[in-house]
Amino acid sequence: MGEGNISVTYWLAGGGCIGKIASFGILPVLREVAMPTRKINLTAEQDAFVEDIVRAGKYQDASEAIRDVLRGLQQRVQADDLQLELLRTQLKAGRDALDRGSFTEVNDADLDTALDGLSTTR
């Protein structure tokens, strides 16, 4: 560009350029941002569900609906990972307590009473 010209480029979060604006007249140069595509197989029931929610106006198209499903799956996987990490931490604390001798032995006859006591103290 020549001296005095300013160009600003706008980018999407995913990295795609959505346009440039020059100082001499605002002439946006918009281009479609390519998204990766995948072929997926759905059951007839799943396909009908996607069609129904798109037709009802809840999503603009099937791709938008499937992306929303994937976001939900990502959240569930993250929550599962956090729960697993918590269980591992609790397991380690229990093993450490055993190694230190910090535990109470309970005989079979008193087990139910001991377990009931644990549930009421939490």
pLDDT in tens, 16-42: 444 444 444 455 555 667 888 889 999
Residue 13 has pLDDT above 50, yes or no: no
Say yes or no: 49 and 89 in one domain.
yes
Tell me: do 44 and 74 sit in the same domain. yes
Q: Give yes or no: residues 48 and 61 share one domain.
A: yes
Q: Does 52 lie in the same domain as 94?
A: yes
Domain hosting 43: range is 37-103
For position 65, what pLDDT does the model report?
Answer: 96
The answer to whether residues 48 and 27 belong to one domain is no
Measured distance CA(122)–CA(109) in Å, rounded: 23
The average pLDDT across 58-86 equals 96
Q: Model's pTM, two decimal places?
A: 0.56
Counting the structural domains of the chain, the total is 2
pLDDT, residue 30, reads 56
Query: What Rg do the C-alpha atoms of the chain give, in angstroms?
Result: 29
